[in-house]
Amino acid sequence: MSDFAVVEDWGKLSMESDSADYVGSRLNDAFTGSQYVTVTDLSGSTASGDETPAVTSNRALNSGVEAAPAATDYIGTAAAKTGFFALDIAAVQLLVAPDAQRLGAADRDTVLRAALDYCAERSDCTFVASSPNRAAATATPRVPSDYTELESDYVNRIKQFSAGFQAAKVYGAVYAGWIQVADPVASGTAPTLFIPNDGHVLGVFARTDQERGIWKAPAGSGAVVRGAQAVCASFTDVQNTDLVRNGLVNPIRFETGSGITIAASRSLSSDTRWWFISTRLLFNFVKVSLREGLRFVRQEPNSGELRRNVAVNVVRPFLLNLWRQGAFGSDPADKVFTIKCDSENNPPAEVNQGNFRIEVYFYAVRPAETIVIVVGQQPTGATAGEA
């Protein structure tokens, strides 16, 4: 498991013993240091000036144990702030656990379920999961020919895997097909291996957000999975449709002219209102933005003036900006979002308890998922068409 307390600002550590970020003090601190690593400064006793680490080689771990993490290590506990719960104090919008694929199937599914539950409990975070790998003749598949499982069987297994996590409203999505990437440590000429896709998928999420906006589905011809050289399975059009519509899974495919791209944007939600992952991302973004933007309301007099100010001068401009960028479709603004913050939803009973309530409703633009083309003849007085 990663040591979150250390990794978050690892780059700040210094060998300078007079620095506030001196590595010996930071890592060895009983309360804020690392839970897994302690260090001894062998660079000398100079108190200031340039210091560099002492160079040693073939040094065995002292009093350490190299043990593979278990499912409980990934999940952690809320009380100890370990595992996923170490992120409680962080503003996290996307979560992945690619190393969970190293676990057995039961433990892997336990970790993924815990991750989805964690995101749902926060209600501001989305979990992205890779499907299991396709069965292969070797423990570490490196080229597409290493895979032996029939693609039809693989599709059915992915659908069964996804079905275990589906519900009416789920804060997560599954992406199908491990991807081939360059292996940075293996020997030989241009070595490769297949890895879970979720880390690369997050890269597509981030790029789509920057280039188009959080409401744009991270899929389609522009959703190129950069760094991917191949996919473990070449899903046909029929298999792709089956995975999307019946499995609520997003296949990664090679398409001529576009490269290796994400072909769909379904969430694990069976409720059609939450079908698309872009809808979930947009709702999370609006929720978090309003939560952060309305902090100034605390301890202000809960009056009609405050409610009007919040609704008209804070929330409406924010939503109008999203509408202008296309987040809510092309209908007039008043038809695609509604703000309610008045005496009706802030009655005296709520005001007396110190509560300030604002309700925001909006229509999230949906992606065009299926293209329906009708071509027909139009003789005089009648039409004859076919889809």
Q: What is the pLDDT of residue 39?
A: 80
Q: What is the pLDDT of residue 366?
A: 87
Place of tokens 């491990």: 178
Q: Is the dihedral of CA 114, 120, 126, 131 positive or negative?
A: positive
b vs e for 181-215, b when ≥16 Cβ sit within 10 Å of the residue's Cβ? Answer: bebeeeeeeeebbbbbbbebbbebbeebbeeebbb
Q: What is the pLDDT of residue 311?
A: 93
Is residue 186 a contact partner of residue 193, using CB atoms and an 8 Å limit?
Answer: yes
Q: Which domains does the chain have, with CATH numbers?
A: 1-67 (no CATH), 72-274 (3.40.50), 296-387 (no CATH)
Q: What is the pLDDT of residue 166?
A: 96
Closest CA to 75 of 32, 33, 44, 119: 119
User: How far is residue 71's CA from residue 74's CA, in Å, rounded to a whole number?
Assistant: 5
pLDDT (tens digit, 9 = 90+) per residue, 254-294? 998 899 999 999 999 999 999 999 999 999 999 999 999 99
User: How far is residue 9's CA from residue 198's CA, in Å, rounded to a whole number?
Assistant: 24
Spans of the chain, pLDDT less than 50:
1-8
pLDDT (tens digit, 9 = 90+) per residue, 171-187? 999 999 999 999 988 88
pTM > 0.85: yes or no = no
